[in-house]
Amino acid sequence: MIERRPLSRLAGDEARNEAPPLDVRFIRVPSIAERKLGSDYVAPMRLDPRVLEQMQTTIRELETKYADSLKSQIAMLQVLVEPACRGDKEARERFYMLAHDMRGLAGTFGYAIVGQFADSLCRYVEHSRDGDWRDGTVVNFHVDAIRDAFENPGTDPAITMETLNALDRLIGSDINGNGSQRKSG
């Protein structure tokens, strides 16, 4: 299954001058397609549009279920934000996990703006100190923005982008200004 190959002789002077030591070997393992279907199999390099369409249909079918789940997650964020800002460690962890899930999934299911605000919130939390939580302004702003983006998907994209850029600047300067003293969340 494994092929051991000598060094290429086509690499030119550079390779000859800096040839690796003799006890270094480059090993080629055949592709999974070759192993499963035989060595004469030409692996499919082009995507099959029918498979892609089926995958996109699958995402659409999951969208409704995800929308319900996202609604519950946002409601839970609103519940958790107050104890999290007060210093409840478990609430902070659950709050971050919810935001992390939104960052990862909302965009896939058509809630791109929710995902972007969740991403911004995660980056803020990952670099936050206790004082940032206790102040709560930025965290609460993010929660409101996430809820608004979910409930009002038709909001002017220019306003959304302006808000996101403002948050980026705020978070960026905050992190840069205190980065050496902060710990990752």
Partner 1 sequence: MNKDPTRADEDLFRRLKILVVEDSLEMQRLLVALLESMGVVHIAVARDGEKGLAAFAARRPDIIITDGAMVPMDGYEMTRRIRAAEAGGNANPDVPILMISGHAGRENVTHARDQGVTDYLTKPLSADTLYEAIVAAVSKPVHFLDKPGYRGLSPKRSLDARRS
Contacts with partner 1, residue ranges (CB under 8 A) = 20-21, 23-34, 36-37, 40-48, 50-52, 54-59, 61-62, 66, 69, 100-101, 103-108, 112, 115, 119, 122
- Helix (H), strand (E) at residue 96: helix 89-105
From the CB of 8, what's the least distance to partner 1, in Å? 12
φ, ψ dihedrals at 135, nearest 5°: -65, -45
Q: Which amino acid is at 141?
A: F
Q: What phi and psi, each to the nearest 5 degrees, are found at residue 45?
A: -95, -20
CB of 38 to partner 1, least distance (A): 9
Which amino acid type is present at position 102?
Answer: M
Residue with smaller CB distance to partner 1, 136 or 164? 164
CB of 57 or CB of 137, closer to partner 1? 57
The closest alpha carbon to 69, from 40, 98, 91, 37, belongs to 98
Q: How far is the CB of 11 from partner 1 (least distance, A)?
A: 14
Closer CB to partner 1, 55 or 161, in the complex: 55
Supply the minimum distance, in Å, between the C-beta of residue 108 and partner 1.
4
End-to-end CA distance of the chain: 44
